[in-house]
Amino acid sequence: MSRFCLYAGGLALALTLWAPTTLRADEGMFLFTSPPTAQLAQKYSYQLTPQWLQGAMQGAVRFNSGGSGGFISASGLVLTNHHIAEDTIAALSTKERNLLAQGFLARTPQEELPAPQLELNALQEIIDVTSQVERGITPQTPPAEAQAIRRRHIAQLESDYQKERQLKAEVVSLYQGGLYHLYLYKKYTDVRLVWAPEQSVAFFGGDADNFEYPRTCLDAAIFRVYEDGKPVRPSHYFPLRPQSLEEGDLVLVVGHPGRTNRLESSSQVEYTRQKALPYRLARTRALESAYRQLGERSPELARQVSNELRSIANSHKAYQGMFQGLCRREIMERKAELEDNLRRQVKDQSPWEELAEIFKPRLSQLEEPYLLLEGSQAYPSPLVLNARHLWRLAQLKEDPQKSLPEYAPARLASLEAQLFSSAPLYPDVERVRLEASLSFMAERLGPSHPYVQAVLQGLSPQELARKLVEGTRFFDPQWRRQVAQLSLAELEKVEDPCLELARQIDPLARKLRNQYESLVQAPATAAYSQMARQRFQLEGLSVPPDATFTLRLAYGQVSGYQAGGTEVAPWTTLGDLYAKAQERGQTPPSKLPERWLEAKEKLDLTLPLNFIATSDTIGGNSGSPVLDGQGRLAGVNFDRNQYAMVRNYVYDEAQARHISVAAPALLESLQKVYGASSLVQELLAP
């Protein structure tokens, strides 16, 4: 049994006595150290117990591919979304065996496929380490110096706890620097694919239906976790609920929301809508166009680029939804009202004034070069990224002062797993990725910009992309392992275009990083920390911090909504899936696989396939277990509707909903479409 121990700390514990003042309806992605016990009791007459929280924490898992999941059997089965598993499914596919198109089922343990580069984290313990991180910092400490002190303390804490507990240790900043919590994880790297449906049914309706509702998707996949060659016996798992939910039923979502911006100042949100989001939209638009054109050249290239295209198209549509939301006057006025209410209750206005000075339009003159060079958005290929990592790791061995937080000892094991992964890389995909990204850099900054000239070295983006891909040996994981053993002096002599680019750009990228951290990150952290202390005095921890891709609890109810004068039902059925396929002429992306057509007569077409609820979720919650009050898995979260896109900045319940695959339809499909009787038997075992 894993130890379940949540430490709130003296200050945090005292502050939880304050009553909530600003939450709306079912709003909140709650820390497990500050659960919504009172809110659930008041609105839903539901008693949230320590035992329930303990089981939920032990049953949830985080995917390093950017999503969530949960244990669903006593022998290590984990359920997540197909789109979270897609990286793995694509890596396991070949030209002859396209698992994305065909689907996959392991009928025996021997047929389960080991997933390259996949890491799952299961949270074991949370510790408040704010006092340790802030040790030695006073109000008089300059922001840049304070930031450096925090980083040293964080690296030391992660290293010490990892050695002592033999668990993965991560220190996470909450309330933009108001609190620091240490998360201790059990790390699993032997993860094997058990089942995945065809992408055509997992992503039925394609990009046009993405972030829309009604939906009819079986966006689910199942893995099994192993340790020491045997299936893991989890301390807790979520048994599947075979009965459908009813409208008004309470659901609780346990997952890892990626990032929200609700506690950011109005000045930062204004900068985001004026500068940051238009930049992200332009970048994703350029990459999406390049990937689509590559995929149109042949079926095999379409297979190779499909994962990248799906990912970037998803990001593009998400950014578009956020931007549309921030264009609404109502949203910006609500954001300003929340901020004004807080400012009227505090004496010190300096944090907001400082942030207004930082987040001015001129920030883009520094932020865009920083993102392009240090953030690698000008050359996001794994070929160049791996070369950069190896170059910086060699520098670190030679001179510890060259260290960066991402290379702290506690984080190296996960980094090395990515560095030496055997997941395939495709030359055409990498060439197009680099060409589009290098062109984007030149377009944003201008061909004559010194940063652009430093990267391109007199070549066109197309010429440099071809040189990097055709001349490198970084496709070979064994060669990457050999290079990792070299000293800095030896690495300087290695002739490889990706490594040469990494060496060439590193001083300039580090300079940009130092500027960005000292002029933006450090003073912003200081201002937000000061703001957080004032917020705590008024509200305690009743208002959850912004999402940080750490475990959170959200709650809500199954509920439809009105749109355009029409009542939108809270669920769609298996029958709706067939009806939509017929209505759209059985043509991609709304074409059902042959096995689904053959199984139609055997299925209970009245079963809910997808359902919606008011729970507060965001990107990163994909794959989150959606539980009933008894802790049974009623569904797996996979998307939001268009009205929920603005939830990054403010919560809205009128029409915003998250969308889940219903557990009964999952069981029905496994049994009658995929013939996975033994798998269903395992899922329903007492």
Determine whether 50 is exposed, middle or buried from the number of CB atoms within 10 Å of its CB (0-12, 13-18, 19+): exposed
Cα angle 190-194-197, degrees, rounded to a multiple of 5:
135
Which helix (H) or strand (E) segment holds residue 422: the answer is none
Token duo for residue 249: 């039923």
Token duo for residue 59: 């049953």
Cα angle 274-280-286, degrees, rounded to a multiple of 5:
130
Q: Read off the pLDDT of residues 622-640 as tens digits, 9 standing for 90 and up.
A: 999 999 999 999 999 999 9
Q: Rounded to two decimals, what is the model's pTM?
A: 0.89
Residue 204 near residue 25, CB atoms below 8 Å: no
d(CA 567, CA 560) in angstroms, rounded, equals 7
Q: Read off the pLDDT of residues 558-588 as tens digits, 9 standing for 90 and up.
A: 999 999 899 999 999 999 999 999 999 999 9
Please report which confidence band the pLDDT of residue 401 belongs to, taking 50, 70 and 90 as the band edges: confident
**What string of H, E and C letters represents the secondary structure of 160-225?**
HHHHHHCCEEEEEEEHHHCEEEEEEEEEECEEEEEEECCHHHHCCCHHHHCCCCCCCCCCCEEEEE
d(CA 348, CA 364) in angstroms, rounded, equals 28
Q: Which residue has the tokens 């070069």?
A: 369
Q: Read off the pLDDT of residues 128-141 as tens digits, 9 standing for 90 and up.
A: 999 999 999 998 99
Q: Which residue has the tokens 């979502």?
A: 253
What is the pLDDT at residue 402? Answer: 81
Q: Which residues of 401-431 are buried (b: 16+ CB within 10 A; e: fewer)?
A: ebbeeebbebbeebeebebebebebbeebbb
Residue 418 near residue 164, CB atoms below 8 Å: no
Cα angle 527-531-534, degrees, rounded to a multiple of 5:
150
Backbone angles phi, psi at 675, to 5 degrees: 60, 35
Backbone angles phi, psi at 37, to 5 degrees: -60, -50
Please report which confidence band the pLDDT of residue 362 belongs to, taking 50, 70 and 90 as the band edges: confident
Domain annotation for the chain: domains and CATH numbers:
5-119+189-260+543-684 (2.40.10.120), 266-534 (no CATH)
Residues 6+ apart with CB under 8 A from 575: 605, 606
Q: Read off the pLDDT of residues 525-553 as tens digits, 9 standing for 90 and up.
A: 999 999 988 888 888 888 899 999 999 99
Decide if pLDDT at 14 tops 60.
Answer: no
Average pLDDT of the chain to the nearest whole number: 93
Residue 115 near residue 195, CB atoms below 8 Å: no
d(CA 489, CA 475) in angstroms, rounded, equals 23
Please report which confidence band the pLDDT of residue 269 belongs to, taking 50, 70 and 90 as the band edges: very high
Decide if pLDDT at 354 tops 80.
Answer: yes
Q: Read off the pLDDT of residues 421-455 as tens digits, 9 standing for 90 and up.
A: 999 999 999 999 999 999 999 999 999 999 999 99
d(CA 561, CA 655) in angstroms, rounded, equals 6
Q: Strand 120-128 to strand 5-6: parallel, antiparallel, or no bridges (unpaired)?
A: parallel
What is the pLDDT at residue 660? Answer: 98
Please report which confidence band the pLDDT of residue 24 belongs to, taking 50, 70 and 90 as the band edges: low
Which helix (H) or strand (E) segment holds residue 610: the answer is strand 608-613
Instruction: Write the DSSP symbol of residue 545.
Output: P
What is the pLDDT at residue 542? Answer: 83
d(CA 172, CA 126) in angstroms, rounded, equals 10
Give Cα 180 to chain centroid, integer Å.
20
Residue 363 near residue 271, CB atoms below 8 Å: yes
Q: Read off the pLDDT of residues 246-263 as tens digits, 9 standing for 90 and up.
A: 999 999 999 999 999 999
Please report which confidence band the pLDDT of residue 13 belongs to, taking 50, 70 and 90 as the band edges: very low
- Nearest to residue 99, comparing CAs of 198, 224, 202? 198
Decide if pLDDT at 236 tops 50.
Answer: yes
Please report which confidence band the pLDDT of residue 4 belongs to, taking 50, 70 and 90 as the band edges: very low
**What string of H, E and C letters represents the secondary structure of 83-145?**
HHHHHHHHHHCCCCCCHHHHCEECCCHHHCEECCCCCEEEEEEEEECHHHHCCCCCCCCCHHH
Averaged pLDDT, 204-221? 95
Q: Read off the pLDDT of residues 669-683 as tens digits, 9 standing for 90 and up.
A: 999 999 999 999 999
Q: How many CB atoms lie within 10 A of CB 604?
A: 12
Cα angle 532-533-538, degrees, rounded to a multiple of 5:
90
Please report which confidence band the pLDDT of residue 10 belongs to, taking 50, 70 and 90 as the band edges: very low
Please report which confidence band the pLDDT of residue 361 belongs to, taking 50, 70 and 90 as the band edges: confident
How much of the chain exceeds pLDDT 90, in percent?
87
Averaged pLDDT, 394-422? 90
Q: Read off the pLDDT of residues 478-534 as tens digits, 9 standing for 90 and up.
A: 999 999 999 999 999 999 999 999 999 999 999 999 999 999 999 999 999 999 888
Instruction: Write the DSSP symbol of residue 457.
Output: T
Q: Read off the pLDDT of residues 31-79 as tens digits, 9 standing for 90 and up.
A: 999 999 999 999 999 999 999 999 999 999 999 989 999 999 999 999 9
Which helix (H) or strand (E) segment holds residue 30: the answer is none
Residue 544 near residue 575, CB atoms below 8 Å: no
What is the pLDDT at residue 19? Answer: 32
What is the pLDDT at residue 52? Answer: 95
d(CA 295, CA 627) in angstroms, rounded, equals 39
Residues 6+ apart with CB under 8 A from 420: 477, 480, 481, 484
Token duo for residue 623: 């794959």
Please report which confidence band the pLDDT of residue 23 belongs to, taking 50, 70 and 90 as the band edges: low
Cα angle 468-470-471, degrees, rounded to a multiple of 5:
70
Helix axes 663-672, 574-583, angle to 10 degrees: 70
Q: Which residues of 607-631 are buried (b: 16+ CB within 10 A; e: fewer)?
A: bbbbbbbbbbbbbbbbbbbbbbbeb
